[in-house]
Chains A and B, each alone.
Chain A
């Protein structure tokens, strides 16, 4: 059995499932200009993050890398970089790297243009040109092996690990078997389950991949404790606890179910992009939505499948997010945010495999252009970049 989806061809051989102009502020201080441009010009999205200056060099490199990779990601057809002029990120490198993919890209500098109103005008003109330039690109049928799907669970409760994550695990296994790429993260939520993941690594628990899984979990645990406090009170979240999850271990064991059963090929750094990687991969990310969704989009994922029990509504500007809800009560209350009701597994109406097939069909529809609920609602404004050091 083979599957295809209708993708927008990009000059670098990748295929997008959306055709957007990304407006990229190179620093938090450029957000207002970028927002004004996005409000005016149809077909644009903005990456309104809060980083890019007064950070340690390692984080400035990280922010530059992530913004560049978001611009390179396949759902972005063209990019406008909005630079202030005195920021710490390397806006010229962002420009050059996106340009190297063959996409149209422009850059404006607020200070050089003479301030906010002039920059907004120049930005609107540039964004209009870019939208027109890519608006005629036609979708073409491509094999599903061109897909990179990211997965995540958020607003978890006890249903997540027993219904919605099982459904995503089913889809993840199916995609890997079809030659596609699946990426999961949330290193914090490997705590207590890392031995299970390490044993699934290519080369086994003692091989380099297995050892790297242990190392990233150890680093995340130490980072959480490095300011002299422990994680309890932060993870599981108060919402998780109200939903029946008693410890980080319980949350983790339920969370890793969504990765399915296939071997883990390797561990990607937060800023790393998928090139020709196939199969199941881990990306080292925190669990919080704005940072992990950004990391996954920067991986080059065209879509995300997101499991929730409590009801997490948010998406991401350039990556459709399909909400699989494990809790039948939540689905009833939040039908306008939740795309699929996996709670039917717990009420005995459907099996995991049956809902898994429904989720796979919904995935194909989404790739072909059908909007997810959060896309149609425009609920995708919050994003951010995961940094390691303090703001200084």
Chain B
């Protein structure tokens, strides 16, 4: 079977980016970090190419980390393997309501 790869850019990250087509709910992907160390994660949700999954459980309100930096916060609890995007991640910058 074709390798379904998810890349984690920084050790601090709690999300990884999927660089594979056709990743669907329940499928297993290989998450690799910078050093090439890999872990198999079961994906929850259909995840398009270039989109993210959680690599650990994330509490509601907790920061979502990519490139070792905050890219927003969890708007609801996120489980390891969950698809992470605008439905459960909210930006904290450039907002008129904060």
Contacts and interface: CB of A to CB of B under 8 A. Distances in A.
B91 A248 contact: yes
A244 B48 contact: yes
A243 B52 CA distance: 10
B50 to A, nearest CB: 3
Given A162-B17, A309-B50, A191 B71 contact: no
A248 B84 contact: no
Nearest to B47: A244
Interface stretch (A70-78, A169-177, A249-257, A316-324): A249-257
B50 A157 contact: yes
Interface of B: 7, 9, 17, 19, 21, 48-52, 64, 66-67, 69-72, 84-86, 89-97
Interface of A: 157-159, 161-162, 191-193, 196, 221, 224-225, 228-232, 235, 241-244, 246-250, 253-254, 257, 309, 327, 329, 346-347
Given A246-B89, A250-B72, A221 B52 contact: no
Contacts of A192: 69-71, 92-93
A21 B86 CA distance: 47
Contact of A221 (B71, B85, B94): B94
B71 A250 contact: yes
Nearest to A241: B86
A242 B85 CA distance: 10
B84 to A, nearest CB: 7
B94 A253 contact: no
B71 to A, nearest CB: 4
A44 to B, nearest CB: 41
Given A221-B93, A247-B93, A254 B67 contact: yes
From DSSP, what is the main secondary structure of chain B's interface residues?
loop
B91 A247 contact: yes
Nearest to A217: B93
A360 to B, nearest CB: 24
Contacts of A246: 52, 64, 71-72, 84-86, 89, 91
Contact of B95 (A193, A232, A254): A232
Given A159-B19, A309-B50, A329-B49, A247 B96 contact: no
B20 to A, nearest CB: 10
A253 B93 contact: no
Contacts of A250: 66, 71-72
Contacts of A193: 69
* Most-contacted residue by chain B among A224, A243, A249 (CB, 10 A): A249
A230 B96 contact: yes
A327 B19 CA distance: 9
Nearest to B19: A346
Contacts of B67: 161, 253-254, 257
Name the 8 nearest CB pairs between A and B, nearest first: A231-B94, A158-B50, A247-B91, A230-B96, A244-B50, A250-B71, A244-B51, A247-B72
Contacts of A347: 19
Given A241-B86, A247-B89, A231 B95 contact: yes
Nearest to B48: A244
Contacts of B95: 225, 230-232
Contact of A196 (B9, B51, B69): B69
Contacts of A191: 93-94
Given A158-B50, A192-B71, A244-B51, 7 more contacts: A162-B7, A162-B9, A162-B17, A225-B96, A247-B93, A248-B93, A253-B67
A157 B7 CA distance: 15
A23 B95 CA distance: 41
Contacts of A225: 94-96
A251 B93 CA distance: 12
Contacts of B21: 329
A224 to B, nearest CB: 6
A28 B86 CA distance: 40
Contacts of A257: 67
